[in-house]
Structure 1
């Protein structure tokens, strides 16, 4: 594994491009020193001419100029010792930081299983198992049919980066649909305690969808029909009650005994209430409030207009009079 840690030693440039470019990098697959390699590469006009590798322990030249420099630097034991120490002082330090903050972390994938048309139409259907946003990069995607692993008719993409340290991968399965079979996509990843299994649920056939739509329409029509029947029944009950009241009034009007009971109610019930009202309410009076003020009339035909407002009086009958001078 190559650490993203990068160190530039020196760079000169002109209008034609780079003249000298030195870089350091670390290759590793664990935090142990024996699993780490420190490399310093020196470039001239974008061509690597000499390299130091901690696994080799010395400089190696790739051009005449590089071999002359390698021979010179390898004779300098102090410089050579300093380069050999970079594996521990430079790489080990940065790799520990990466394992602590990044490489030991993991992000669970999200999985989407869907169908699409197979290219060339050699098969009636193709299933796609898309796995998104997982970390680290290493992942395994496999297929099961009725619990048995499928090994043929499968194509998968490489794991490629989203650009935000997360990855995605897509696996395609060409298959012939069979009634009652169960197809599953299985995802194994370091972030999962056990493999994630996503079962394929086929879409409902067109005929079944039409049956369900028809059944729903039938039920809705039945509900509307029952609502109409209930409304008509309630309307019929109201008209029946009206007809019943007319018939009852006609029968009571022909009954002399019933009429003899209702006619005295005028004197027995209404007269005492009327006397109480005349005694306690109607003879009383409330003194009015009066406000007299002037206002400008509309049209400008008179210089002024006097307005007399009378408020909060009882009973209703009222008489007003205006005196102007001797008139």
Structure 2
């Protein structure tokens, strides 16, 4: 398969104009391998976009295509020096450039990536259409075909030309219009020089609406079950407090029946609390702090009295205090 992809052309053009008329020549090398017998050297001469004479290494001489071109070919074919020079171009010019192309360009390849998806058919002849999109491959030549149940099909297929991405890579798209059938297997097969074996992408139809609803319902049921179990676990954990209370009551009842436990706890009043009480009465309770007082007037909020006297007392200990207000009319 690789040989069919390696047919390239080397093209060089020379142009000259005079008084509005244009004449130019082009040099091409056609080849599909580096072997000399697989190379053809072509030199064409044009006048006002019309080729009038050509030299081909396969023919070995000049051939004219117009009245002027025929005369010019006869003149050049009589000159053995010109013929020898043109015949040598196949080896000296084409084979040299062919080797460069094979070493730097033609031997390189980039594997394609493919995507198979569905789209709406533009007409009503078929209800469905599949698109096989192949991206980023090199060289340009590629074959995209369709398989239905393993057999290649050629009907109802349209394909685009290879589009250049502008970075030496190409893309192509192939469309298949088809009538969906239950259990049918449809595949897109890509053959390219960079692949050791064809790349096959199988079409997986989307899930029917009923199955999708069943799956959504199953997921909802599972989530509900998870929430239910979480609620039960939380309820049990929240009930642990009442269980602790019941355990404490049972433990107190058991200890009250044990005279040894009671005899251990009853002396704690005298052994632990009495010394602390004596310390408190000795160092805290007899102490006192003289209060600070401030008397000032303010306007009452209700308006029943013109003046309100306010007595404020600060920073005293203990908290028992008594405040009296005495007044004298002047």
Pick one of 88, 104, 108 that aligns with 2:91: 88
SS in 2 for 1:121: coil
Q: Which residue of 2 aligns with 1:76?
A: 79
Q: Which residue of 2 aligns with 1:235?
A: 238
Cα displacement (A) at 1:7:
3.2
1:99 paired with 2:102, answer: yes
1:6 paired with 2:31, answer: no
1:148 paired with 2:113, answer: no
**CA displacement 1:63-108 (0-9 Å, x = unmatched):** 4444444343333321221111111110111112222332233332
Pick one of 25, 34, 37 that aligns with 2:28: 25
Query: How far apart, in 2, do the equivalents of 1:2 and 1:178 lie?
Result: 41
Matched-pair contact (CA < 8 Å) for 2:127–2:178: yes
1:167-316 equivalences under 5 Å are 167-242=170-245, 244-245=247-248, 258-265=261-268
1:155-170 equivalences under 5 Å are 155-170=158-173
Matched-pair contact (CA < 8 Å) for 2:9–2:31: no
Greater mean alpha carbon deviation, residues 161-170 or residues 213-222: 161-170
SS in 2 for 1:26: strand
Query: How far apart, in 2, do the equivalents of 1:67 and 1:123 lie?
Result: 57
1:55 paired with 2:58, answer: yes
Compared CA separation, residues 45 and 181, structure 1 to 2 (3 A): closer
Normalising to structure 1: TM-score of the pair? 0.70
Query: How far apart, in 2, do the equivalents of 1:73 and 1:178 lie?
Result: 68
Matched-pair contact (CA < 8 Å) for 1:2–1:26: no
Normalising to structure 2: TM-score of the pair? 0.69
Q: Which residue of 2 aligns with 1:296?
A: none
Compared CA separation, residues 102 and 64, structure 1 to 2 (3 A): same
Cα displacement (A) at 1:54:
1.8
Cα displacement (A) at 1:8:
4.1
Matched-pair contact (CA < 8 Å) for 1:2–1:25: no
C-alpha RMSD over aligned residues = 3.7
**CA displacement 1:235-272 (0-9 Å, x = unmatched):** 11113324653675588679876443213246667999
How many aligned residue pairs are there?
275
Greater mean alpha carbon deviation, residues 219-228 or residues 240-249: 240-249
Q: Which residue of 1 aligns with 2:280?
A: none
SS in 2 for 1:25: strand
Query: How far apart, in 2, do the equivalents of 1:260 and 1:174 lie?
Result: 98
SS in 1 for 2:239: helix
SS in 2 for 1:5: strand
Matched-pair contact (CA < 8 Å) for 1:116–1:127: yes
- Unpaired segments ≥5 residues, structure 1: 273-327
Cα displacement (A) at 1:40:
1.5
Query: How far apart, in 1, do the equivalents of 2:26 and 2:143 lie?
Result: 35
